[in-house]
Structure 1
Amino acid sequence: MFEGLKQWAEEVVAEYGYAGIFIISFTESIIQPVPPDPFITGGTVFGLSPVKAALVAAIASVLGGIVGYFLGKFLGEPVFKKFIGEKYYDRGEILFRKYGIWAVIIAAITPIPFKAICWLAGIFEMPFWGFVLAAFVGRLPRFLFMAFFGQWIGNL
């Protein structure tokens, strides 16, 4: 299943460029498991602008994160546990209790499943604008790094 999603994502980026990166980044922040990083890097290897690719990915990821936030807020803990898992709920609760807004920034920068943190931000009623700011502050540097890494590879 994962291999099929990966192939789909590659085709979307190859055919649709920035729009493909937007789709992958948006949906990854809600539910789908394929991270946008390799597609941002691949897109810039083949000539997409690193700054534009990173901005598109960051904006899409934050918008998808907002959807996840409201899914968490309105559907709550039982739906989260059903779709994402109790393990991530328990880990997320510990992360939120210990780090608060930093939990979003940490998840946005690291391989921690960002979608899970977005849902949990809504479940734990994190202030909305604090969530949005933290998501953007974390996602943009990560995606800029991946985009410029891709450009560097493309220049080799």
Structure 2
Amino acid sequence: MKNNKNISGPSPVKPREIRSKIRTLIFALQIIVVAALLVVWLSSESIQKSKDLWVLFIYSFPSQFLIPIIPHEPVLFYFGKFYSPLTVALVDIAGTLLIEALNYSVFKYIIDTSFFQKMRQTKSAAKVVELFNRAPFVALLVAGLTPVPFYPFRFLVVMAHYPIWKYLLAIFLSRTPRFYVLALIGRAINIPDYLIIVIFIILIVSVNGPILRRFLKNRQGNKTHAS
């Protein structure tokens, strides 16, 4: 008597697993594209000195992606010398809206990980979200219009499940006049290029300096603890 063996084929891939893989792929591609734009901009002197508006548009991506390492404002001073403030503001806000939609997508992927799900359930995170939800649109308008660091709000809108269309609307209404004013300053004062470079360097140091110090301090502490 022959034993019948059940030969089972490969188990079908679940739709949830497919969606997860697609999201991971999209997430990776988003990071790669923005990183590539940053490398191209930093490595090309001709692009850095270009007065073409497409450079302003593209620069919005590396300078406003997640927690940016390069400042955005000096470029508005620069282009304000060659174009009307309205033109500069409209071109820049177009790039900004695209990158902020990208930020929303990336942060949504990050926050769905188990680590951030646990962090999201802490009392401190719940308190911050609760405060934000009291007047989210106003908070975004103020943060977008003033020079306060904006990157925490990119994370906060996702934690609070704030609709992306409202988020982008707040970005448009707050950032457009801000960009206009910065371009107007660049046009009215005609800031020399060397001074724009100085401002650029100061902003890079002020933003990345504390992060670098904390990193070096933690690294030194780990070495001391290990020894």
> What TM-score bracket applies, with the shorter chain setting the length?
0.7 to 0.9
Structure-1 residue corresponding to 2:163: 127
Deviation at 1:92, TM superposition (A): 6.2
TM-score (norm 1): 0.73
Which whole-Å CA distance do the structure 1 matches of 2:43 and 2:139 have between them? Answer: 27
**Count of paired positions:** 143
Whether 1:97 aligns to 2:133 is yes
Which whole-Å CA distance do the structure 1 matches of 2:127 and 2:178 have between them? Answer: 22
Determine if contact 1:62/1:136 at 8 Å carries over to the other structure: yes
Give the 5 Å matches for 1:7-156.
8=42, 11=45, 12-15=47-50, 17-31=52-66, 32-45=68-81, 47-76=82-111, 93=129, 96-154=132-190
Determine if contact 2:57/2:91 at 8 Å carries over to the other structure: yes
Identity of aligned residues (%): 26
Q: Please, which moves more after superposition, 106-115 or 36-45?
A: 106-115
What amino acid does structure 2 have at the position aligned with 1:29?
Q
Q: Please, which moves more after superposition, 48-57 or 26-35?
A: 26-35
Q: By percentage of residues, which structure has more helix?
A: 1
Which whole-Å CA distance do the structure 1 matches of 2:43 and 2:179 have between them? Answer: 17
Structure-2 residue corresponding to 1:86: none
Question: C-alpha deviations, 1:96-133, integer Å up to 9, x for none?
Answer: 23431222212211223323312321232101211111
Higher RCO, 1 vs 2 (CA within 8 Å, ≥6 residues apart): 1
Deviation at 1:66, TM superposition (A): 0.9
Extract unaligned runs of 5+ from structure 2. 1-38, 117-124, 192-227
Indicate the structure (1 or 2) with the bigger Cα radius of gyration: 2
Q: Secondary structure at the match of 1:126?
A: coil
Please, what is the CA RMSD of the aligned residues? 3.3
Which whole-Å CA distance do the structure 2 matches of 1:41 and 1:33 have between them? Answer: 18
Deviation at 1:148, TM superposition (A): 0.9
Q: Secondary structure at the match of 1:148?
A: helix
Question: C-alpha deviations, 1:29-69, integer Å up to 9, x for none?
Answer: 22323232111111222x12321111111111121111111
